[in-house]
Amino acid sequence: MTKRWYPALAAAAACIVCYVAGWRGTDWAAQLYRASEVAHYGLVVWDPGWYAGVFPFGYSLLYPLVAGGLGLWPVALLSAAGAAFCFDSLVTTDKGRRPAGSWYFAVSTVIEVAIGQLPTLAAEALGLGCILCLVRYWDQGPSGWLRGRGRVREALLAGGIALGVLAALTSPVAGLFLALSLGAWGLACAVDGRKVVLGLRPLALIGAAALVMLATVGLPILFPQPGYFPFGATCW
């Protein structure tokens, strides 16, 4: 096992410590409820059991489906390890110099696990995977090892965009940040001094940002949160 897996192992170890110590924040109950509902009844458009009724798709489409099948803790561990691995791959230099921030990021994933922000953590891992694939596609990562391998590079481009869309369908909040990041990256690539050059890279990044944004806002618009609350501010 190479050293590149060490931060992922640190994040997984932190998740296991959280499990053994019994750290359960306020959001754990909500995630357990959503995953249990999907495990027992499948995906439903309307859930009358949450307050006065709610559209579950507006919160997350993919997370309850995956967590209902695999369980909350396995998904939490995979999400923490995946996010740590992708972040470390992005910040580690060509010479293998790992910044201290990589270790901090890996260990800090335990905060989201302990609180119960599990859809956000899962979307974070998918979003970082999206960025990593796109970086590798343009040989901006370590050693440029994909140079000349056309099919692999095309798969990375398609995979990166797909991961971005999946991140948006897992957590609209994470999808929004990812779309803004991709759009800013594309605009930065398009601006050369005082000129605007719309080459393949900026167009691909801006197009990816548009797809991620569409996936981000689509479900919340069709299925608005938080649902209907019959008691307003004037009912005190």
Q: How do residues 178-205 score in pLDDT, each as one tens digit?
A: 999 999 999 888 876 566 666 778 888 9
Domain count, the chain: 1
pLDDT score recorded for residue 140? 46
Where are the alpha helices (H) located in the chain, listed in sequence order? 6-21, 27-41, 63-70, 72-91, 100-115, 118-137, 150-170, 172-190, 200-222
Determine, yes or no, domain membership for 233.
no
pLDDT score recorded for residue 68? 94
Q: Which helix (H) or strand (E) holds 195?
A: strand 195-196
Determine, yes or no, domain membership for 234.
no
pLDDT score recorded for residue 171? 94
pLDDT score recorded for residue 168? 96
Q: What's the domain range around 184?
A: 3-228
Give the predicted TM-score (pTM) of the model: 0.86
| Long-range CB contact pairs, 178-187, < 8 A, 24+ | 178/127, 178/130, 178/131, 178/212, 179/209, 179/210, 179/212, 179/213, 179/216, 180/209, 181/131, 181/209, 182/130, 182/134, 182/206, 182/208, 182/209, 182/212, 183/209, 183/213
pLDDT score recorded for residue 33? 92
Q: How do residues 46-60 score in pLDDT, each as one tens digit?
A: 888 777 778 888 889
For the segment 60-83, the average pLDDT, to the nearest whole number, is 95
Q: How do residues 129-184 score in pLDDT, each as one tens digit?
A: 999 999 988 764 444 444 445 677 788 889 999 999 999 999 999 999 999 999 99
pLDDT score recorded for residue 119? 96
pLDDT score recorded for residue 215? 93
Cα–Cα dist 97/113, whole Å: 28
Q: How far is CA 56 from CA 70, 212, 215, in A?
A: 19, 20, 15
Determine, yes or no, domain membership for 130.
yes
pLDDT score recorded for residue 143? 42
Determine, yes or no, domain membership for 236.
no
**How sure is the predictor about 4, in pLDDT bands with cuts at 50, 70 and 90?**
confident
